[in-house]
Chains A and B, each alone.
Chain A
Amino acid sequence: MVNKASVVIIGAGISGCSIAYHLAEKGMKDIVVVDKSYISSGATGRCGAGVRMQWGTKMNCLLAKKSIEFYEHADEILEYKRGVHFHQGGYLLLAYSEKELAQFKLNVKLQNSVGIPSKIVTVKEAKEIVPHLNTQGLYGGAFCKRDGFLDPFLTTDAFYLAAKRRGVKFLTYTQVRDIVTEKGTVSIVKTDKGDIHTEMVVNASGGYAQEIAKILGINMPVYSRRHQILVTEPVEHVQGPMVMSFSKNFYCQQNPKGPFIMGRGDDLEPTDLSIQSSWQFLEKMAKTIQHVLPPVSDLRVIRQWAGLYNMTPDKQPIYGTVEGIKGYYQALGFSGHGFMLGPLTGMIMSEMILGLPHEIDISPLSLARFERGDLILEPSVV
């Protein structure tokens, strides 16, 4: 067991692995990542795998665009032989009212202004992009061809292996029990396998972020909500893009290998860290998909699972430090898009920890925004 580190990163999901990789790549030594289970065992490995640039706030647009640009070259950058399988079939967002379409028009204008190639599509064009789409009740949509999806396990594995090659130590199946501070500075991370002396800790623990913060007496304005997903048997590849609707609160993609993967948001889902599956989800999902993409409902569902969205009040992440605790950093509250922002999370946190200038000004994403009431509400989340 390692007992000394320059930094301990808690959580070996996409955020933790990306932070570790970017710190090591910039020359930092003695980096340790701890996780209570295996790599990508939490929210990352349970996510819907989609990545999109089509967001409703300028900040999210910039973060997502930069992350996707990284993912486009991830295999080369991370020298990953298994491949992250990035499929850029686009995202087709569906508008079911005049109001929703008007919001899309505003979003597309904003997205185009920062170089995102999204566009408004008519009902007819939407049907051409996804021929099996039921257009009943549809007002139009938005489409961006550079959006898509990639394998969350392999992507995290790519960061993990690249970090390991650069000397990062990974302690899996190791649970953090306590974080000791001395005169307001982080000094020891206590785990069930032993103590690690360190002056820096990064909380990248996804669905458990508020639990880790609580150890340090910090009450974070975040909570974790269960989200469920199902996958069908594989069939011939017929659907290029991810199909998504905010008002119907669902998304559905077809992996190029054949299976359809779909999930939905639901305010009735529990917020007690449960990741059990429920039959209520199966029923609601089945009804939605039968209406929107009728032929897909002929497929058999073979598996369902659940994960946690770590939600913030404005559905944007929190990056930064906490006043009064020197050496403590956080990258949390991704509100369901931590996988999509993974590369950028690593870049931002490594710049912050090493005191380097930021490529993107992320000061609006600090914890202090909630005290100031300076929220930048994201309208486009499932």
Chain B
Amino acid sequence: MSHKEVLICRCSDVTLEELRALIEEGYHTFEELKRITRIGMGPCQGKTCGHLVLRELSHCTGKSIDELRMQQSRPPGVGVKLSLIAKEAETNGE
């Protein structure tokens, strides 16, 4: 299978080919790759693609995975409907 057909990030449609090209260009941290491709910013929040990205970074830069940082995880931990948050806020007398 060509690298063009391997999807690394299903939420933002990022292929292995694109990812490797960016690392080659000099984007050497998860945060930088994320900002160019939106990798890890979709509904899964990097839960699917995160480790694949780190593995590629490790492979291409020669750094061990332990030295590399996963993207900043941001709240909420899972998707929550805004209407539920609004309802909760009302019952709290906020």
Chain B nearest Cβ from A302, distance in angstroms: 5
Q: How far is the CB of A26 from chain B (nearest CB, A)?
A: 26
A232 interface neighbour in B75, B82, B89, Cβ under 8 Å: B82
Give Cα A272 to B26, complex, Å.
33
Among B2-10, B30-38, B49-57, B59-67, which stretch is in contact with chain A?
B30-38
CB distance from A335 to the nearest CB of B (A): 24
- Partner among A38, A154, A234, A283 whose Cβ is within 8 Å of the Cβ of B94: A283
Interface residues on B, range: 20 to 34
Q: Are A287 and B80 in contact (CB under 8 A)?
A: no
Q: Which residue of A lies closest to B83 (CB)?
A: A297
Q: How far is the CA of A153 from the CA of B37 in the complex (A)?
A: 9
B-chain residues with CB within 8 Å of residue A290 when the two chains form the complex: 82-83, 86
A299 touches B81 (CB 8 A): yes
A299 touches B35 (CB 8 A): no
CB distance A301 to B79 under 8 Å? Answer: yes
With A277-B74, A303-B74, A304-B75: A154-B36 Cβ-Cβ less than 8 Å: yes
A282 & B81 in contact (Cβ 8 Å cutoff): no
- On whether the beta carbons of B79 and A38 are closer than 8 Å, the reply is no
Nearest chain-B residue to A276 (Cβ)? B75
Q: Is the CB of B45 within 8 A of A283?
A: no
Q: Which of A153, A277, A299, A305 contacts B82 (CB 8 A)?
A: A299
Residues on A with beta carbons closer than 8 Å to the beta carbon of B88: 283
**A239 at interface, CB cutoff 8 A:** no
**A302: contacting residue among B32, B36, B45, B86, CB under 8 A:** B45
Q: Does A265 touch B at the CB level, under 8 Å? A: no
Restricting to A266-294, which residues have a CB under 8 Å from any CB of B?
Answer: 277, 279, 282-287, 289-290
Q: Does A82 contact B (CB under 8 A)?
A: yes
Task: Please name the residue on chain A nearest to B81 by beta carbon.
Answer: A300
* Nearest-CB residue, chain B, relative to A287: B86
CA distance A323 to B21 in the complex (A): 47
Is the beta-carbon distance between B80 and A38 smaller than 8 angstroms?
Answer: no
- Complex Cα–Cα for A115 and B78 (A): 46
List the B side residues contacting A301 at CB < 8 Å.
76, 79-82, 85
Chain B residues with Cβ below 8 Å from A45 are 35
The bracket for how many chain A residues form the interface is 20 to 34
What are the residues of chain A within 8 A of B41 when measuring CB–CB?
Answer: 231, 303
A39 — which chain B residues lie within 8 A by C-beta?
32, 35
Binary B-proximity of A1-42 (CB < 8 A = 1, otherwise 0): 000000000000000000000000000000000000011110
Chain B residues closer than 8 Å to A287, beta-carbon distance: 86, 89-90, 94
Q: What CA separation (Å) do A300 and B35 show in the bound complex?
A: 22
How far is it, in angstroms, between the C-alpha of A222 and the C-alpha of B88 when the chains are bound? Answer: 36
Chain B's closest residue to A37 (CB) is B31
* B38 CB to nearest A CB, Å: 8
Q: Point out the residues of chain B lying under 8 angstroms from A304, CB to CB.
A: 74-76
Residues A233 and B79 in contact, CB atoms below 8 Å apart: yes
Measured between beta carbons, the chain A residues less than 8 angstroms from B80 are 300-301
The answer to whether A298 has its CB under 8 Å from any CB of chain B is yes
Bound-state Cα–Cα, A290 to B42, Å: 22
Across-interface contacts of A282 in B (CB, < 8 A): 75-76, 85
B89 lies within 8 A of A277 (CB): no
Provide 21 A-B residue pairs closer than 8 Å at the C-beta atoms, listed in order of the A residue. Answer: A38-B32, A41-B31, A45-B35, A153-B35, A154-B36, A234-B43, A282-B85, A283-B89, A284-B94, A286-B82, A286-B83, A296-B82, A297-B82, A298-B82, A300-B81, A300-B82, A301-B80, A301-B81, A302-B42, A303-B45, A304-B76
Known pairs A233-B79, A283-B88, A302-B43; list 8 more (Cβ under 8 Å).
A38-B35, A234-B43, A286-B83, A290-B83, A290-B86, A300-B43, A301-B79, A305-B74
Question: Chain B residues in contact with chain A, CB under 8 A?
Answer: 29, 31-32, 35-36, 41-43, 45, 74-76, 79-83, 85-86, 88-90, 92, 94
List chain A positions with a Cβ less than 8 A from chain B. 38-41, 45, 82, 153-154, 157, 231-234, 277, 279, 282-287, 289-290, 296-305
8 closest cross-chain pairs (CB), A and B: A300-B79, A283-B89, A153-B35, A286-B85, A286-B86, A297-B82, A297-B83, A286-B82
